[in-house]
Amino acid sequence: MTKKFWRQGEPFVWATGLALSLILFLTLLLFYVVLANGLAVFWPKKVALATLQDGRSLLGEIVQEETIPHNEKKRLQFKIGNRDLYGLDFKWVDASEITSLTYPKDVHVLERQEYGNFYGYLSEFEVKGIAPPVSGSNSLAQTIGALEDRKVEVHLLGKKIANLNRRVELIDHHLAKARYNKEENTPALAAMQGEKQGLKTEFEALVSILGEKSAALATNQAIFTDANGQPKAIALPNIVRAYQPNNMSFFAKCAYYLERLRELFFDEPRESNTEGGLFPAIFGTVMLIFLMSILSFPLGVLAGIYLREYAKDGWLVKMVRIAVNNLAGIPSIVYGIFGLGFFVYGIGGGIDQLFFPERLPTPTFGTGGILWTSLTLGLLTVPVVIVATEEALGSIPPGIREGSQALAATKLQTLTRILLPMASPGILTGFILAMARAAGEVAPLMITGVVKLAPALPLDGVFPFLHLDRKFMHLGFHIYDIGFQSPNVEAAKPMVYVTTLLLILIVLAMTSTAIYLRNKMRQRHSVVDV
Amino acid sequence: MSTTDTAIIRIDNPQVEVENLNLYYGASQALKDLTFGIPGHQVTALIGPSGCGKSTLIRCINRMNDLVDGLRIEGAITINGENINDPALDVIELRRKVGMVFQKWNPFPKSIYENIVYGLRIAGIQDKTVLDEAAEKCLKRAALWDEVKDRLHQSAMGLSGGQMQRLCIARAIAVSPEIILMDEPCSALDPRSTSRIEDLIRELRGEYTIIIVTHNMQQAARISDYTAYMYLGELIEYGPTQTLFTMPEKKETEDYITGRFG
Ligand SMILES: Nc1ncnc2c1ncn2[C@@H]1O[C@H](COP(=O)(O)OP(=O)(O)OP(=O)(O)O)[C@@H](O)[C@H]1O
Ligand SMILES: [Mg+2]
């Protein structure tokens, strides 16, 4: 009986099934954790008012509950916010200390430009230059709304100043170049000097206007009180968003959720990245994958074609093949170091010596930037593309090649009209795998051009529009940065989940698109059974 | 040796002439001093046991062997008086003149229409009406038109094996070659498809010079005008099919065609 059991390979079948279920379980667990935590972040949570035994009270969102095993005591963690008042955002309270727990309807939650959330009650307004606020449940929202135009004005002014700054910088570059080339007293130079002077005056005028306007704006404030009645004046323009979670209908909560999503996708981060949007990081991630693909895909395919179709089989080709296969196994940090040494310092430094000597020692290309990061990642993916191309070409039945050549096609015609279309699904499969790996890679980015906060996107409206020398932000690095490097890790936790979810979704979206394209191609060029 | 053999007839005005052809795969010799002529506009069959060099010989005629590493050829093959082993010869031109159909059908994973016009497109023809006409003509010639006329633009991969092989023949004749080489075109087909292809070969005969390799004695007898019997890289006997099958000169030939061989 047992003998038969072993002979039929029953245990082996179990082992295979078990292995698969284990992998599936872990993957699903990962997805569940990320989804459950990431999706809930933006849903407005109720704010509890806890009255303690010593007569004091506190306001905050209940983040978690736990029971300490050895004395069976329950304790609750509150997010109490008000960092400018208390210094800490989070507080543990023993359940036994709490005498009552209520959810007052008139609690306000303020998302602020600095110091994180504020939880408290509205007591009075001090406003100038706008219609005095009416009292009522949404007076705060109305008053903030009335300031919106002026806030936008200040924001645009800031942008204008940044643009002026960049133009001045550009002129400075030209001037430095002229100085380096020993040009003096040319009319062009004088014109540039004049323009710079003009820009500078304009700049200073705008800065002082901006100062006045924002100061005037900041005098509009509201006085709030915290759970214990301590007053706190908060400038209205500092409030990003105000809401009353205990008094919101389901639809209001949905609207709030959507608004937060919009902010996530289209706004810039605040508060050392732990709040606000992720737009620059999303943009950087997608652009990096694009650049990396544009650089590595053609290179890998061409190299693969050469290896399979043109190189004479010999020991040299064998060595190259082994080397290429092994390249795929090198840790990514090693690629990063190579990228730093070769691309950034070597090529970038060389470019600076040749084309931007006047700016030295300030590097232009000789420092991390999105171009070097893309090249480094491209290097990381290229072996996979080469191997995939070789294998895809190699798996085409020889009869197909002969059939084409017997019809008087040249080798190149056979390649472009028959072989490559047939190999493309296989090539794309390899490329998709490589792309997915590269998209989630962080280590090599950290030393070749990613930064915590980039002042400008690598693609914008300033000539020459595509700034490949610029540093950029990336979701993967963002996770590491806010999750493990920020001073307030606890407060950043929700953002870590959201960022993780977003990164997974972006990689998923890009690979799904690639898979969709590949499948369409596969339908058109399905290979014979043979 | 075999040049003086009475078992090998001389052909007047041959279209393809093989002279003292020796072929080596590395160190091993696959064709041994072949000399014979193939008449134009007739069907010539190559028969012989497996591994005797039939495919190797037929692939010399359109220089398909160029693709093989370590292959060496001595001697000459002339087509219409031109030596095709001349290194200066344009192989593309040659292959336009000499088409080929393989043992295992090999349609491209494209539509039926694109398969037919592939050779024409390669030759640089882009005019849609020309291509359409050629496609229709060749499919009719290959007796495939009625079966596929409603799905010209569907994948050729959906055809049956016999249909695919006829498509490959149609594809070969689309570029109007003078000579068509067929390497066991029916060996993977059922009897019905085989007889359709045989009908087709009979149809094409007269218009094209056809050189066909076959393992099927009856087939050679049915469709060919001349038959060559090869053994271990040598040409043993060559003559009109009628004569070779009824009164073979050589004992080996007789043994082989009567099935007493091996
Ligand atoms: N690419 C090659 N490299 C080395 N030897 C080869 C190669 N192709 C064929 N041969 C050898 O040459 C000889 C002739 O082969 P060929 O394929 O021409 O035989 P064939 O008559 O077509 O046989 P079959 O009837 O089985 O198709 C055989 O001994 C074969 O092993
Ligand atoms: Mg053969």
Question: Distance from B258 to chain A by nearest Cα, in Å?
Answer: 33
Question: Chain A: nearest CA to B63, how far in angstroms?
Answer: 9
**Residue among B21, B22, B23, B25 to mutate when testing ligand 1 (max atoms within 8 A of CB):** B25
Query: CA dist A458 to A213, A295, A346, B135, B246, Å?
Result: 30, 17, 22, 53, 85
| pLDDT tens track for A69-86 | 887 888 889 998 888 888
> Which of B24-28, B65-69, B241-245, B257-261 bottoms out in mean pLDDT, i.e. has the lowest?
B257-261
CB A102 within 8 Å of CB A48: yes
B209-244 pLDDT, tens per residue? 999 999 888 899 999 999 999 999 999 999 999 999
**pLDDT beyond 80 at A128:** no
> Prior bond to B49 cis, omega within 30?
no
**Atom 3 in ligand 1: which residue has the minimum CA distance?**
B25
CA of A197 to the centre of ligand 2 (A): 86
From B54, B58, B71, give the residue whose CB has the most ligand 1 atoms within 8 Å, as the site to mutate: B54
* B11-46 confidence digits (pLDDT tens): 888 899 999 999 999 889 999 999 999 998 999 999
DSSP secondary structure of B10-29: --SS-SEEEEEEEEEETTEE
Q: Which pLDDT belongs to residue A86?
A: 85
| Residues of B whose CB is below 8 A from A397 | 106
pLDDT exceeds 80 at position A3: no
CA gyration radius for chain A? 30
> Atom 30, ligand 1: which residue's CA is nearest?
B51
Q: What is the pLDDT of residues A175-203, one digit of tens each?
A: 888 877 777 777 878 888 888 888 888 88
Q: Report the distance separating Cα A457 and Cα A268, nearest Å.
A: 11
Q: Are strands B209-213 and B28-38 parallel, antiparallel or unpaired?
A: unpaired
- What pLDDT shows up at residue A179? 79
Q: Which amino acid is at A272?
A: S
Choose the closest CB to A408 out of B106, B109, B123: B123
Ligand 2 centroid to Cα of residue B224, in Å, is: 18
**Distance (Å) from the alpha carbon of A411 to chain B's nearest alpha carbon:** 10
Q: Span A416-428, mean pLDDT?
A: 90
3-class DSSP string for A268-308: CEECCCCEECCHHHHHHHHHHHHHHHHHHHHHHHHHHHHHH
Q: Residue B144 and residue B231: Cα distance in Å, rounded?
A: 36
Q: How far is CA A15 from the centre of its chain?
A: 40
Task: Give the model's pLDDT for residue B2.
Answer: 44
pLDDT in the model for residue A227:
86
Over range A27-48, report the average pLDDT: 89
The answer to whether residues A216 and A129 touch, using CB atoms and an 8 Å cutoff, is yes
Q: For residue A247, what pLDDT band results from cuts at 50, 70 and 90?
A: confident
B220 lines ligand 1 (CB under 6 A): no
Residue A165: name the closest of A455, A364, A421 by CA.
Answer: A455
Contact B104 A408 (CB under 8 A): no
Band (pLDDT 50/70/90 cuts) for residue A135 is low
- The pLDDT of residue B1 is above 60: no
Residue A132 is predicted with a pLDDT of 66
For chains A and B, CB pairs below 8 A equal: 68
Calpha distance B15→B19 (Å, rounded): 13
Do the Cβ atoms of B109 and A404 come within 8 Å?
no
pLDDT at site A530: 31
In angstroms, rounded to a whole number, what is the distance separating the alpha carbons of residues A464 and A402?
Answer: 49
The CA distance from A139 to A444, in Å, is 51
Please indicate whether residue A21 or residue B197 has the higher confidence score (pLDDT): A21
Whether the CB-CB separation of A244 and A105 falls below 8 Å is answered with: yes
Ligand 1 centroid from CA A211, angstroms? 90
Q: Are B186 and B198 in contact (CB under 8 A)?
A: yes
CB contact at 8 A, A472 and A454: yes
Verify whether the Cβ–Cβ distance B92 to A410 is below 8 Å: yes
Maximum average pLDDT range among A134-138, B64-68, B258-262: B64-68
Please, which residues have CB within 8 angstroms of residue B114's CB and are 6 or more apart in sequence? B108
Percentage of residues of chain A with pLDDT beyond 90: 23
> pLDDT band at residue A26, thresholds of 50, 70 and 90?
very high
> pLDDT class for B262, splitting at 50, 70, 90?
very low
Q: What is the whole-number distance in angstroms between the Cα of residue B94 and the centre of ligand 1?
A: 23
Question: Which among A313, A400, A408 has CB closest to B106?
Answer: A400
Ligand that comes closest to the CA of residue B71: 1
Average pLDDT over residues A441-454: 87
Q: Measure the CA dihedral B24/B29/B32/B34, to 10°.
A: -30
Distance CA B212, CA B216 (A): 11
* Interface contact B102-A397, CB threshold 8 A: no
Q: From the centroid of its chain, how far is CA A507?
A: 12
**Integer distance in angstroms from the first to the last C-alpha of chain A?**
43
Residues A433/A384, Cβ–Cβ less than 8 Å:
yes
Question: Using one digit for the tens of pLDDT, what is the confidence trace for B81-95?
Answer: 889 988 888 999 999
Q: pLDDT averaged over chain A? A: 86
Closest CA to A340 of A348, A350, A329: A348
Q: Is the CB of B54 under 6 A from ligand 1?
A: yes
pLDDT level of residue B113 (50, 70, 90 thresholds): very high
**pTM, two decimal places:** 0.81
ipTM score for this prediction: 0.89
Q: How many residues does chain A have?
A: 530
**Residue ID of nearest Cα to ligand 1 atom 22:** B55
pLDDT in tens, A318-333: 898 899 888 878 888 9
Tell whether ligand 1 has an atom less than 6 A from the beta carbon of residue B68.
Answer: yes
* pLDDT for the residue A136: 64
Model pLDDT, residue A468: 83
The DSSP code for A470 is: S
Mean pLDDT value of segment A208-217: 87
Q: Is the preceding omega at residue A421 within 30 degrees of 0, hence cis? A: no
List residues of chain A with CB under 8 Å from any CB of chain B: 313, 397, 399-410, 413, 417-418, 421-422, 524-528, 530
pLDDT, greater one: A129 or A97:
A97
Nearest chain A CA: its distance from B154 CA (Å): 10
Summary mean pLDDT of chain B: 89
- Give the closest residue (by CA) to ligand 1 atom 18: B53
